[in-house]
Structure 1
Amino acid sequence: MELVNPDDLNSVESRLKLEIIEKLSEPCDRKTYGERLRSAAQQLKCSVRTVQRLMKKWEEEGLAALIDSGRIDKGKPRIAEDWQQFIKKVYSNDKCTPAQVFTKVRNKARQEGLKDYPSHMTVYRILRLVKEAKEKEESIRNLGWKGSRLALKTRDGEVLEIDYSNQVWQCDHTRADILLVDKYGHQMGRPWLTTVIDTYSRAIVGINLGYDAPSSSVVALALRNAIMPKQYGVEYKLYADWPTCGTPDHLFTDGGKDFRSNHLRQIGLQLGFICHLRDRPSEGGIVERPFGTINTQFLSTLPGYTGSNVQDRPPEAEAEACLTLQELEKLLVAYIVNTYNQRLDARMGDQTRIQRWEAGLLKQPRVIPEHELHICLMRQTRRTIYRGGYLQFENLAYRGEALAEHAGENIVLRYDPRNIAQVLVYRHDPDREVYLGVAQALEFEGEVLALDDAKAHSRRIREDGKAVSNDAMLDEMRDREAFVDQKNKSRKDRQKDEQADLRPTTPPIIGPDSSDEPSVDVQPDESPEELDIPEFDIWDFDDDDA
């Protein structure tokens, strides 16, 4: 999946496409829309069908639709496969020059009576690709240190030379080699650890510890910890500072689907960094090495340590497991701040990792307000506002009093997967996003509803043959919670409880201009007949991290 470079959006063609998309997104009748389609086709010098495909791609991919990906066969020869194999075989076996290879190609064509055969320029182009592939194979190692500088190679062939702190951050996940328990002593399994590393200093700038499997939401939480100034209480027993904060210029990761997701690309566009994928696994040593250090020098000293090999797991690991997620998080933060970041950088010898980070800053890190950062890290999707200020999302009906005047407009929703009872609504103008207000899920005022729970509720109700509605969903959720309270909770439920204690549930969303925004006020005595709630279809759901 192609990553979007913000510089690519500044081209004349991209701006023209964006203007046309915004014009076509405005509400109108069919005749007017047809006229706008034909006008857009004339402006872009393409067919009407091409404009329709552009609109569909915009709805599916967002800003990526504005970038022309070019021909998929660009750079590939278009001659018959047997001719390509013959040219490569002659060149590699007989050790001929390109001119001699062409002579043999011409002789073969004469012997077989063929009038149509590759020209000498076509032979040269094929051999040039062969030479480039051979040179790349010989330099299979990552670029590494070039003199006094470190260089990283991306999957797109770009070389990133590391010159200063907060230039390139790297992020990765691992399963921590330790068994945890909940506050009642029940075993919870091994948690996931996500780290963010500054490439220049090798300092750990942010972490996330939890039971959730790797996803773009987990990456967003780790980036949040890395970007915000660190504030920990006295119970963490920190004897040094953890001053790392700010935003990077580049984020360098592996090719996992959580790092290729639209969500992470949107975060990069919002915060001003570019996402890159590694060219090969050997490029990830900087971010993967700390995992080994943490496992062998920190986790191995704690009760419940399992080791890295499941088959050689110590028999006493399960019996000795006694740490909770909250206790491990406090110990891990203390280890990173007091020990790991305070060790001398092996390349310099006279600077610790944290001192090198401070010395390598070109300017003071940009501090982003916490609420603004929370909005930037939200996921996004596109919807249409219905008459009366209603909209539909994940089989829920939402309403916002300030949205009624924008009926028919195509808007952007921002939401936190941990709580979709409230969503933020924006209109996308050519040069910026305009905040329109908060939309509240009907019948969920004051409730907290996670995205995964909403999908599970609607699926269960649908399987029972009932109509999906907010009332039915809320009743089903309450009935299920009452039933679960009478039974022993599963490991997954206990994991969520432990993780909620470590990372409290987000408060209700407050928009950027909440002081001026009219509140959503549905009177309890308002009759159902007076609400103009549109009908909507029911769809199955798939995660959009990929």
Structure 2
Amino acid sequence: MDFFAYLTRFYLPFAFFVMGESMQGISIKPGILVLVGNKQLEIIDSVSASKIRARDLTTGEVLLISPGEIEFELKKAAPMSNPNSGQTERTSLIESANEADIELASDRYDVLLPIAGKRPISKKDMIQCTEALKLSASQVYRLLDKLDTNIGPLSLLPQRRGRVKGVKLIEASAEDTIQEIIDQHYDGPGITYQEIFEKVKEQCLAKSIPVPSEATVSNRLRERNPRALMAKKYGSKAASQEFEVRGGKVLPEEPLELIQIDHAEVDCIIVDSEHRQPLIRPWVTLAIDVYTRVILGLYLSLSHPSTMSVALCISHAILPKERWLKLIGMPDGEYPFYGVPKRVHVDNAKEFKSKNLEDSCRKYDIKLTWRPKGVPHNGAHIERYVGTLMTRVHMLPGTTMSSTKNRRHYKSEQHAAMSFSELREWLIREVEIYHKTTHSELKCSPLHKWESHFKSKNGRFSYPSIVDDQKRLLIDFMPFKKRTIGRDGVKLHTIDYYSPTLKRFNIGSRCIARYDPEAINKIWVLPEGEQNYIEIGYADLRLPNATLSEFKRAGAKLRADSKRRVPAAEVFKLIRKNDALVNSAVACTKEMRRMRERKKTRLTDSGHPLNEKNAQQVKMSTSPSPDYSVKPRPYDIEE
């Protein structure tokens, strides 16, 4: 009989009883079990000289019986009295036994079962048992005393030497002290096993009881439920994250059915492109397709996450990447993933909760959903990839690692070496490596998973549909304000914008004005009833380009000084002075270098979709754009 046959047999119900001695040997007293007819009864007490009160073990009914009706005394209670206790004990015994012991117990059980209920045992039966089991008569009697039909063959397992598991040898008062200290003081992230032992030692000495060893106290902690201990130390949220079973996942069945988007501050300090001085940790916004695990879109920025970051990441995910790769100087890069997703899943950050984002997604038939609060594993795919990517970032010069503890004595700013464009190029290559590497869950590379879906049986490829107006796509996801067209054009953030195209609309016409917070020199206006945006710039061409935050900071400074409404012209005048100060400084402070690099990156980065026209113009001519604030110089012939 093999091991699994034993296990099956041990869990079968047992339908036999162990009979006691003959009638003259039965001592009638409360608590004994007897057989009366076909009923198993427990004696309760005596009623009279001829009547005994007993309880039916099967139905619980109380009966009156006479002593003469008792046929046998039952040695053990029938399994019906507690059907679960035998199975619980069998499970415990199986977990602690080996196969050889189980086989020996099964053989002995088969031999002893026929005589288990007999008292006395005949000489013939005893000889047969001793010969079959190769044991002495006294050993057979001991086995018969151990045999329990409620547990089955496992009741005859050999007893191992040594202390039984779970038996405590220390005094009860010391045991109570340990448990009390754990309940009261094992709390907070700073608590350690050593501190618990010191408190136990202090209490035991105060009570004049023997102090348990440090190992004993540590063992009592390990015996506790690990989830409960983590909840006491780090909180219930951390305990759930570590131990909670999470099922019921609804996974997508094709590419672009579900993408997840999230931001991360890159664990690496970059340098400015001009002086190679340390600047800042950039932010990256990533979009992952859950079905194929491809990184559908990414956007690297020196600015904190914003509505614009989300817009640029979504538009990058939707659009083909070939033109973008050429503009940033990576024409050989392979990035074939694009398409309009059916659902975008994000967290509850402010930039994801705007009505503008929801309306823009609805315009392209994209369903926007949010994670339940406090449930980070609902965005596990993007979170896991961010962790994987940051592990690779930790190999770069200037890395900050994931914490000061991990960084130790490494001087991140001293070793910083990569500029913004260099980090982006490295990042894109890392993403490409990831796309071509076997994924542990997919059992193939994300690139293969994507291609296998769009590849037909005859070897031909199909492709996701392409959005025709690519610039319109980005503009649709930009932040916006509702405005009216005035005599001077459109006013936004107290700045006047104008284009001759606005002349065909009446004063007072309503419109939507969309803008880029990182470059406010132009906006895109959609008048009511129109289908296409109108790009318009400053009404005063002499005004410099600036970021919205830069403009607001300068305006706040002037208002604090004058306590009056500040015209936009005065604000831009202050911005020009600041720009001149930064440009003329020999040794710029870190904050100034950050501001300058941030503006420079936004205005000159060829990878930004709004700079594509500028990048093409730079290739054609390296002459600087005219500065309208400088008085024009006449030609010699004009003089």
SS of 2:581's partner is: helix
Contact 1:236 1:331 in 2 (8 A): no
Deviation by residue 1:480-519 (Cα, 9 ceiling, x = unmatched): 2222223343434423444456554545999xxxxxxxxx
Residues 455 and 266 from structure 1, CA distance in 2 versus in 1: closer, same or farther, beyond 3 angstroms?
farther
Match of residue 254 from structure 1: 347
CA distance in 1, matches of 2:569, 2:332: 52
Contact 2:547 2:599 in 1 (8 A): no
Alignment of structure 1 residues 155-174 onto 2, 5 Å: 161-174=251-264
Higher relative contact order (CA 8 A, sep 6+): 1
Match of residue 426 from structure 2: 331
CA distance in 2, matches of 1:355, 1:446: 51
Kindly state the Cα deviation for residue 342 of structure 1 after the two structures are TM-superposed. 0.7
Kindly state the Cα deviation for residue 236 of structure 1 after the two structures are TM-superposed. 6.6
Structure 1 residue 478 corresponds to structure 2 residue 573: no
Contact 2:262 2:382 in 1 (8 A): yes
Match of residue 371 from structure 2: 278
RMSD, aligned CA: 3.2
CA distance in 2, matches of 1:206, 1:451: 25
CA distance in 2, matches of 1:185, 1:449: 23
CA distance in 2, matches of 1:324, 1:385: 42
Deviation by residue 1:364-397 (Cα, 9 ceiling, x = unmatched): 22322332223223221101223x3533211112
SS of 2:351's partner is: coil
SS of 2:321's partner is: coil
SS of 2:394's partner is: helix
Contact 2:519 2:602 in 1 (8 A): no
1:331 maps to amino acid: W
Kindly state the Cα deviation for residue 269 of structure 1 after the two structures are TM-superposed. 2.7
Residues 508 and 353 from structure 1, CA distance in 2 versus in 1: closer, same or farther, beyond 3 angstroms?
closer
Structure 1 residue 434 corresponds to structure 2 residue 531: yes
Structure 1 residue 352 corresponds to structure 2 residue 450: no
Match of residue 397 from structure 2: 303
Match of residue 388 from structure 2: 293
CA distance in 2, matches of 1:221, 1:288: 20
Q: Which stretch of structure 1 is more off in the superposition, 488-497 or 252-261?
A: 488-497
SS of 1:289's partner is: helix
Tell me how many residue pairs correspond in the alignment: 354
Contact 2:544 2:576 in 1 (8 A): no
Contact 2:518 2:599 in 1 (8 A): no
Match of residue 312 from structure 1: 406
Kindly state the Cα deviation for residue 283 of structure 1 after the two structures are TM-superposed. 0.7
Deviation by residue 1:54-111 (Cα, 9 ceiling, x = unmatched): xxxxxxxxxxxxxxxxxxxxxxxxxxxxxxxxxxxxxxxxxxxxxxxxxxxxxxxxxx
Contact 1:172 1:254 in 2 (8 A): yes
Alignment of structure 1 residues 183-202 onto 2, 5 Å: 183=273, 184-202=275-293
CA distance in 2, matches of 1:411, 1:270: 17
2:416 maps to amino acid: A
Structure 1 residue 422 corresponds to structure 2 residue 530: no
CA distance in 2, matches of 1:496, 1:206: 26
1:353 maps to amino acid: P
Match of residue 304 from structure 2: 213
Match of residue 362 from structure 2: 269
2:365 maps to amino acid: G
CA distance in 1, matches of 2:520, 2:262: 27
Alignment of structure 1 residues 104-183 onto 2, 5 Å: 142-143=246-247, 145=249, 151=250, 161-183=251-273
CA distance in 2, matches of 1:352, 1:216: 32
CA distance in 1, matches of 2:508, 2:327: 53
Kindly state the Cα deviation for residue 190 of structure 1 after the two structures are TM-superposed. 2.0
CA distance in 2, matches of 1:310, 1:257: 28
TM-score, length-scaled by structure 2: 0.50
Kindly state the Cα deviation for residue 169 of structure 1 after the two structures are TM-superposed. 1.0
Residues 314 and 321 from structure 1, CA distance in 2 versus in 1: closer, same or farther, beyond 3 angstroms?
farther
Kindly state the Cα deviation for residue 422 of structure 1 after the two structures are TM-superposed. 2.2
Contact 2:488 2:496 in 1 (8 A): no
Contact 2:546 2:599 in 1 (8 A): no
CA distance in 1, matches of 2:327, 2:312: 23
* Unmatched tracts of structure 1, length 5 or more: 1-136, 146-150, 152-160, 511-522, 525-546
Structure 1 residue 448 corresponds to structure 2 residue 545: yes
Structure 1 residue 341 corresponds to structure 2 residue 439: no
Residues 464 and 235 from structure 1, CA distance in 2 versus in 1: closer, same or farther, beyond 3 angstroms?
closer
SS of 1:187's partner is: coil
Match of residue 379 from structure 1: 479
* Unmatched tracts of structure 2, length 5 or more: 1-239, 456-461, 605-609, 615-627, 630-639
CA distance in 1, matches of 2:571, 2:310: 30
Residues 310 and 302 from structure 1, CA distance in 2 versus in 1: closer, same or farther, beyond 3 angstroms?
same
Kindly state the Cα deviation for residue 142 of structure 1 after the two structures are TM-superposed. 4.8
